[in-house]
Amino acid sequence: MAHGSEPITRGLPLWPGRIAAGLVLLLTLGTLLAVGLRAGSAGRFGVADWAAIRFTLVQAVLSSVLSVAAAIPVARALARRSFPGRRFLIAVMGAPFILPVVVAILGLLAVFGRGGVINDALIWAGLPAISIYGLHGVVLAHVFFNLPLAVRLILQGWATIPAERFRVAASLDMSVWRFLEWPMLRATVPGILLAIFLICLTSFAVALTLGGGPRATTVELAIYQAIRFEFDLGRAALLAGVQFTICAVAAAAAWWIAVPSALGGGLDRVVQRWDTGGSTRFSDACAIGMAALFLLVPLTLVLSRGVTEIAALPNSVWLAAGRSVGVAIFSALLCVVAALALAMLRGSAVAGLAGTLPLAASGLVIGTGLFVVVHPVMDPARLALPVTALVNAALALPFAYRALSPAVEQVEASHGRLADTLGVCGMARVRLVLLPRIRAPLGFSLGLAAALSMGDLGVIALFAGDAEETLPLAMYRLMGAYRMDTAAGAGVLLVLLSFGLFWLFDRGGRHDRV
């Protein structure tokens, strides 16, 4: 037993991590500085700005509370029922994480939008139609995305209750809810609420497609409008400062409350229980059935409508798809190289900061900063694709860092000393020891980053002209022109490419050479 060894040398090179950390800090805090300098020349808050702040907070609170409230019965039902398709449903619940937002929005429009299934039924029944645009639409979309996330996270909480406890509870006739489930929820739910709140603060694409107008504009959307429509960079910068402050406060709160990891496994198990007879069977079936319908119907509608359109897609969409694939692959490489470099700093404070800061950063805020910097020098549209790749890489960095950092630690723990005595240090250590041992998390991170970038509709909307359109942007513009069938076709293509890239990279990492 070594009693807390103090290493004399560090085998892995540190310079890549220092460069990466510097770049991340420059991108997140440096752009903020640019924003701040620019905002100095702006006026004061107007009524519209206060409305945007209020709307941002209200929709995020509503979205997170409703997502978690709806997720609890679903997670409970999944935790205590075993049925055919259970694994599939849980796997599907993991998919929205890399599902392009525009595709989901199109699906929700197909159900709840004008000319959607529900409005058709209402009109047929002689009732007034409903509109999906505005607060309830934004919240609906956020629940669509975050309900599955919340279900998986809460299900993890259920999975941590040992099976023996249920046996003890049954033999003593204790209340499972009061003694086992409620304490678990009380411990996990605050962190989950906060995580979803944070996600809803920075989901620009949802606000762009379903929000708008004086009553449903988020701060991010206001930034976008200030740049694209009013070309008021000072006001955009001021709003970007506001957005950063809101996110920083929420992220600081998340630092105190343990926010759970969305990437955990071990959800396959159904614990044997003795309190699941009678009416609970019906309520569980309802919870699972409703959730499945809510998640699967919109997607099925888009995909089935779009499949037949793929062959007829205009050339411009294919070009956009090509650009998106290029951006996604470049962004994924950038992200994973930076994440690996940070992970090689072995848990230093700077690495932790650089690996977490992008969670609090909004792509729109970084984008505004870059826009302010670039604009005096050249036409921002010419940099649309590189900037998009860069910002996407930064936004995916925390997830890649969290996947790679433990893997690097594990390799160092099991092989570091051997490498040290042999003098396998520096880049030779990376090439000969580290990379071959972390292929699986490397592939997973590449796939995740590529898929996230592929589906991103954020900073690209800020920068792009027609010639720099990515696939999500092309799809958004088709939706804006009410070419819903073509948009659905582009949506199918986008889903195929996103999940295809993820599958390809992830699979590549798992494949063994032996």
Residues forming contacts to other proteins in the complex (CB under 8 A) are 1-9, 414-415, 417-418, 420-425, 428, 432-433, 436-437, 514
For other proteins, the closer CB: 343 or 411:
411
Look at residues 203, 208, 241, 152 and name the one whose alpha carbon lies nearest to residue 395.
203
For other proteins, the closer CB: 1 or 125:
1
Residue pair 242/132 in contact (Cβ under 8 Å)? The answer is no
DSSP assignment letter at 214: T
Q: Please, what is the minimum distance in Å from the beta carbon of residue 118 to other proteins?
A: 55
For other proteins, the closer CB: 6 or 164:
6
Q: Please, what is the minimum distance in Å from the beta carbon of residue 426 to other proteins?
A: 9
Q: Please, what is the minimum distance in Å from the beta carbon of residue 507 to other proteins?
A: 18
DSSP assignment letter at 381: G
Q: What does the DSSP assignment read for 42-93?
A: S----HHHHHHHHHHHHHHHHHHHHHHHHHHHHHHHHHH---TTHHHHHHHH
Helical H segments across 423-438, by residue range: 426-429, 435-437
Q: Where are the beta strands (DSSP E) in 81-189?
A: none
Look at residues 488, 461, 452, 472 and name the one whose alpha carbon lies nearest to residue 109.
488
Amino acid at 330: F
Residue pair 489/309 in contact (Cβ under 8 Å)? The answer is yes
Q: Please, what is the minimum distance in Å from the beta carbon of residue 413 to other proteins?
A: 9
Residue pair 453/393 in contact (Cβ under 8 Å)? The answer is yes
For other proteins, the closer CB: 409 or 485:
409
Q: Please, what is the minimum distance in Å from the beta carbon of residue 340 to other proteins?
A: 17
For other proteins, the closer CB: 4 or 213:
4
For other proteins, the closer CB: 131 or 414:
414
Token pair recorded at residue 295: 């998640």
Helix-strand-coil percent breakdown of the chain, rounded to 5?
A: 75, 0, 25
Cα–Cα distance for residue pair 171/272, rounded to 1 Å? 13
Other residues' Cβ atoms within 10 Å of the Cβ of residue 41: 10
Contacts of 470-473 with C-beta under 8 Å, sequence gap 24+, read: 470/320, 470/323, 470/324, 470/327, 470/385, 470/388, 471/317, 471/320, 471/321, 471/323, 471/324, 471/497, 472/100, 472/101, 472/102, 472/205, 472/324, 473/320
For other proteins, the closer CB: 420 or 485:
420
Cα–Cα distance for residue pair 34/373, rounded to 1 Å? 7
Q: Please, what is the minimum distance in Å from the beta carbon of residue 424 to other proteins?
A: 4
For other proteins, the closer CB: 86 or 437:
437
For other proteins, the closer CB: 4 or 265:
4
Q: Please, what is the minimum distance in Å from the beta carbon of residue 19 to other proteins?
A: 22
Q: Please, what is the minimum distance in Å from the beta carbon of residue 372 to other proteins?
A: 46
Cα–Cα distance for residue pair 225/229, rounded to 1 Å? 5
For other proteins, the closer CB: 9 or 171:
9
Residue pair 329/452 in contact (Cβ under 8 Å)? The answer is no
Q: Please, what is the minimum distance in Å from the beta carbon of residue 439 to other proteins?
A: 9
What residue has token string 């209402």? 122
Token pair recorded at residue 85: 């398709």
CA distances to 97, 206, 460 from 365, rounded to whole Å, are 22, 16, 13
Token pair recorded at residue 309: 């359109």
Q: What are phi and psi of 426, to 5 degrees?
A: 65, -145
Q: Please, what is the minimum distance in Å from the beta carbon of residue 442 to other proteins?
A: 13
For other proteins, the closer CB: 436 or 480:
436
Q: Please, what is the minimum distance in Å from the beta carbon of residue 96 to other proteins?
A: 35
DSSP assignment letter at 216: S
Cα–Cα distance for residue pair 128/113, rounded to 1 Å? 13
For other proteins, the closer CB: 311 or 413:
413
Q: Please, what is the minimum distance in Å from the beta carbon of residue 443 to other proteins?
A: 15
For other proteins, the closer CB: 162 or 436:
436
Q: Please, what is the minimum distance in Å from the beta carbon of residue 497 to other proteins?
A: 32
